[in-house]
Amino acid sequence: MPFVGEIFSQLKAGASTPVLQEIRGGQFTGMTGNELLEVIRKARTFLASKGLQKGERCGLLAANSIRWVAMDLAAMAEGLIVVPLYSRQAPAELVAMMKDSTPALVCCGDAALRDSIQQNWPSAPPMFLFDEIFAGVNGVQLDRPQVRDEDAVTIIYTSGTSGEAKGVVLTAANVGFMLERTAARLVQLMDGRTMQDRVFHYLPFSFCASWIAVLTFLKRGSLITLNTDLTKIPNDMPVVAPHYFLNVPQLLERMRRGVDEQIAQKGGLAQAVYSRAQAAWQRKRAQPQAGDAVWLWLANSLVFPTIRKKMLGENLKALISGSAPLTPETQNYFAMLGIPVLQVYGLTETTGICTMDDPANPVPGRVGLAIPAMEMRLSENDEIVVRGPNVFRGYWNRPQQTAEVLRDGWFHTGDQGEMDASGNWRIAGRIKNLIVLGSGHKIAPETIEEEIGRHLPGAQQIVVVGNGRGYLSAIVTGSVPGDRVQAALDAANAQLPHYKQVRAFCLRPDPFSIENGLLTANGKLKRELIAVRMKSEIEEMYHVRHAV
């Protein structure tokens, strides 16, 4: 058995060692390696009793939990193809994915999730609750082989920013290759440390990079602590005291703002040292001033260690960030605190990862080097194309769309990028997001949004629009005064050529979200739908300017 067998072997080796625990209501509940294997055995026995054939699909609809992990490993070990479904996604979208993948059965975390599907799909396949699945007896031998490298093990649906989500088929070979690479990078990060790693995890398992991360942690025999309430993350992190954990930029930005607000409320010496050290750090490479070294020394002695301990505990080696670009300012901010932020870049179609930062030399604004044994280069329009053992074999039941992105052995990512002399990559934006002005200029909005956001930290989101227009405009969400938006645009425009300058804006108090349908399940902007929903506001920006 490929990677699943390797994980089982690791669990056996750590039979009496805690490997997985959840935080619920402030209480820790966990399992040792042997206990997790027994729970997996129960799930396998249940699945085997259903007479399923190898290659049939098994839907998995639940929030993060130990039982989710057990169910996933059990289904793959039984030769089934797991279809992980995001528990917070709209029922209609989940039903569309299930109708596409045609699972033989669906395993649900609770009755509410099951009922929401059945209400939207009366003819849904059999749906079983975790309580029923894990209440049975153990009968299956864990070491009976069911999976080969060439076998599909999962269908993960992409977020679908501009249309219907597509099912990405990943094989055991795809996953096994990636686990070797991610595990090797964690060995490098931990500098050969042989004791058990402590990992905090909150990102949904239904997202590819999150899933790969958890499998990697299990393969390494780490102690994984699962957050089960996103509102409790600030309280959970320092208690867990992790060595590292996977993040999205949104949380890191929120952590940064939270520290600023708490220090400002505290006032006094701490605020004085903190603010002066921040200014000194920002000037460090450009125009250092006399006294900067003193303020940084004071902050490193009196303020920064307290922030690190209170926010993240005493063990942290690094934060890992993926899913979207992280601003260099935020990466530099954590570096100032003595916390490296390592970026990864990839897509579901590349088994989650194409590049990873070197722990010894992360470059702000870059996402690291291409992973070993994978090729990565630029094609037409500076599009990143890749090939290697991590590239998926195709979309589920979509041969035409598969052929559009897999050409001559290369996967066309749809992302624009550039590589520096050291091989570090920067992601410029999505090709399909390119704005073509009436003048013919082609503009990637992401870099401009990032620049505006650097001058407007209070904004929730910034969306630049202007396709076919004479100039660019911006939608700004959050409680931000118009004069501050104007000041941010003035500052950003001063650094941009004339055709990239944003000349109008509109304010939207409510941010775009998963709940209002304007963000994908993993937090990406649905730009086309935003343009449709805000058509009147966009039209107004091109008739009555609210800016320069």
Do residues 345 and 322 make contact, with C-beta atoms less than 8 angstroms apart? yes
Report in angstroms the alpha-carbon separations of 513 from 117, 228, 394, 521.
22, 20, 29, 9
What backbone phi and psi angles, to 5 degrees, belong to 171? -100, 170
In 3D space, the residue among 11, 6, 147, 169 whose CA is nearest the CA of residue 76 turns out to be: 147
Q: Give Cα 31 distance to the centre of its chain.
A: 26
Residue 234 lies in a domain: no
Q: What are the residues facing 418 on neighbouring strands?
A: 426
Q: Say if residue 410 is in the same domain as residue 454.
A: no
Q: Are 28 and 22 in contact (CB under 8 A)?
A: yes
Angstrom distance (rounded) from CA 365 to CA 326: 7
Determine, yes or no, domain membership for 291: yes
| Residue 210 falls inside a structural domain | no
* Mean per-residue pLDDT of the chain: 90
- Collapse the DSSP code of 217 into the 3-class scheme (helix H, G, I; strand E, B; otherwise coil) and give the result: helix
CA distance 23 to 532: 41
Domain end marker among 400, 431, 462: 431
Q: Position 113: which residue type?
A: L
In a domain, 228, yes or no: no
Q: Are residues 411 and 444 in the same domain?
A: no
pLDDT value at residue 548: 43
Expressed as residue numbers, the domain containing 143 is 3-171
pLDDT band at 288 (very low <50, low <70, confident <90, very high): confident
285/380 same-domain check: yes
Q: Which of 431, 461, 493 is the last residue of a domain?
A: 431
Q: What is the mean pLDDT of residues 59-70?
A: 97
Q: Which helix (H) or strand (E) holds 247?
A: strand 244-247
Looking at residue 546, what is its pLDDT?
46
Q: Which tens digit of pLDDT belongs to each residue from 119-159?
A: 999 999 999 999 999 997 777 777 776 788 999 999 999 86
Q: Are residues 488 and 401 in the same domain?
A: no
- Average the pLDDT over 84-102 and give the result: 91
**Can you give the CATH number for the domain in which 256 is found?**
3.40.50.12780
Classify residue 499: in a domain, yes or no: yes
DSSP label at 231? G
Question: Quick one: 509 and 393 in the same domain?
Answer: no
CATH code assigned at 502: 3.30.300.30
Judge contact between 82 and 72, C-beta under 8 A: yes
CA 524, CA 161: separation in Å to the nearest integer? 7
In a domain, 124, yes or no: yes
451 and 332: one domain? no
**Averaged over 188-217, what is the pLDDT?**
92
In a domain, 139, yes or no: yes
Q: Are residues 34 and 136 in the same domain?
A: yes
Tell me the C-alpha to C-alpha distance, in Å, between residue 351 and each of 171, 259, 320, 438. Answer: 9, 34, 17, 38
Q: What are the pLDDT digits (tens) for 365-415? A: 899 999 999 999 999 888 999 999 999 999 999 999 999 999 999 999 999
Residues 447 and 535 in one domain: yes
How, if at all, do strands 152-157 and 461-465 pair? unpaired
Total number of domains constituting the chain? 3
pLDDT, position 178: 97
Residue whose entry in the numeric block shows the structure tokens 């049939």: 56
Do 371 and 497 lie in one domain? The reply is no
Range with lowest mean pLDDT among 163-167, 236-240, 493-497:
163-167
Tell me the C-alpha to C-alpha distance, in Å, between residue 36 and each of 46, 53, 68, 269, 441: 16, 25, 11, 50, 57
Residue 449 lies in a domain: yes
Q: Are 227 and 233 in contact (CB under 8 A)?
A: yes
What's the rounded mean pLDDT across residues 190-205?
90
Does residue 492 share a domain with residue 441?
yes
Q: List CB contacts of 135: < 8 A, sequence separation 6 or more.
A: 42
Question: Strand, helix or coil at 447?
Answer: helix
Query: Would you place residue 52 in the very low, low, confident or very high pLDDT band (cuts 50, 70, 90)?
Result: very high
| CB contact at 8 A, 180 and 374 | no
Model pTM?
0.85
Domain end, chosen from 413, 431, 449, is at: 431
Give the H or E element holding residue 295.
helix 292-302
Question: Does one domain contain both 418 and 536?
Answer: no
Q: Which residues contact 399 (CB under 8 A, 6 or more apart)?
A: none
Say if residue 493 is in the same domain as residue 420.
no
